[in-house]
Homo-oligomer: A and B are copies of this chain.
Amino acid sequence: MSVTAARGFRAAGAAAGLKPSGRPDVALVVNDGPADAAAGVFTRNRVQAAPVLWTRQVLTTGRLRAVVLNSGGANACTGPEGFADTHATAEHVGAALGIGAGEVAVCSTGLIGVRLPMDLLLPGVTQAVVALSPAGGDAAAEAIRTTDTVAKQAVRTSTSGAAGDGVVTVGGMGKGAAMLAPSLATMLVVVTTDAVADSATLDRVVREACRTTFERVDSDGCLSTNDTVLLLASGASGRSLPEAELTELVTAVCDDLAGQMLGDAEGSTKTISITVTGAASEADALEVGRSVARNNLLKCALYGKDPNWGRVLAAIGTTSAAFEPDRLDVTMNGIQVCRGGAPGEPRELVDLGGREISIVADLHAGDVELTVRTNDLTDGYVYENSAYST
């Protein structure tokens, strides 16, 4: 149910014909209120797609009534004409729903540098408006897929306080299968809740949730021009949660979606968690985790089920984190293959046959620990990203 799990939301998916396959490619999420507070986090790429520029501007009000999303085209690097296309899309949604264009967020995903076929997109948006339903979450999640092989949804409910009407629900949908990136790591995510919350609270909540989930995923080191995470609150539950609890729920939904993205990353055969322990600071731990996650040679080795821990050390060595090379320990799937910067247990003991791989790197320089997740680098990834434009 994803984005329509929380009360106060309707959604829909439609096939506008943007994709040659004819599969659904337009999604619409509408917040029926009573409240319309919202917040968002966007790509840190300085080359930002037209819908990102538009939605950042719209969100300065702290309010959103609807989100329209399309796959089949990123509308990035399309100049003033591309921005006008985004504006026209929001206007079209606003007119159909009887709201202002300035209350409509727009998200796009697909090939960069190509204009959207507006003659197809706008009728598709109209179709989606007609199809809006409190049960439309699945259809919307389906319509934002690009190379994702499955739709990605997650729901969590509050456990504190009274049951029944008093329960707060948080639901989300996401798409992302490559270009999962070093700072904000997904393509498009919409999370909805029926909690009562103002936009300033939502802003803190969504930033904190992203910090420990999407921002610690680095599938292929490539930062998209379109990354967007939106959080909308309808207030339809009539309840407000303590901020920490709302943060926990939203974080759980984001973490679930991030895991689904890694599990479905283009061409991947491994989901790899890199836990950095004994770091002097969170910044150090993150730098080390990302450096390991982005090392192509290691990612190839893990695809080949080769516990080549030397490549972990080589990746750590490129960082500015506090550590001494002769104190580094590395454990792979439970076997401490490197101890004090030198060989530990025999690498033959490490079994890398399954999809999940755990790497623990101990810097022995402090007590901070965090985990960055990535995928292996495979011929499947190369194929998906060389055989056609995405």
Contact = CB atoms under 8 A, between A and B. Distances in A.
Given A221-B296, A222-B295, A310-B111, A338 B382 contact: no
Interface residues of A, number: 69
Interface string A318-356: 110001011010000000011011110001000000000
Contacts of A313: 47, 76-77, 112-113, 225
A117 to B, nearest CB: 14
B297 A179 contact: yes
Interface stretch (A5-13, A167-175, A236-244, A299-307): A299-307
A112 to B, nearest CB: 2
Nearest to A221: B296
Given A47-B341, A82-B342, A313-B225, A385 B297 contact: yes
A279 B197 CA distance: 46
B342 A301 contact: no
Nearest to A220: B296
B304 A386 contact: yes
Contacts of A343: 77-79, 113-115
A388 B225 contact: no
Nearest to A291: B223
A317 B47 contact: yes
Contacts of A223: 314, 317-318
A328 B388 CA distance: 24
A281 interface: no
Nearest to A328: B47
A122 to B, nearest CB: 21
A304 B377 contact: no
**How many copies of this protein are present in the complex?**
2
A274 to B, nearest CB: 16
A60 B351 CA distance: 44
Contacts of A81: 342
A86 interface: no
A256 B315 CA distance: 28
A221 B296 CA distance: 8
A326 to B, nearest CB: 7
B388 A383 contact: no
Given A314-B45, A317-B47, A112 B308 contact: yes
A390 B77 CA distance: 40
A367 interface: no
Interface centre among A221, A342, A381 (most CB of B within 10 A): A342
A78 B326 CA distance: 9
A258 B146 CA distance: 39
Given A225-B313, A301-B386, 10 more contacts: A46-B323, A47-B314, A47-B341, A77-B338, A80-B342, A113-B347, A221-B295, A300-B386, A304-B388, A306-B386
Please list the 5 inter-chain residue pairs (A to B) with the smallest Cβ-Cβ separation, ordered nearest first. Answer: A112-B310, A304-B386, A79-B342, A47-B317, A300-B385
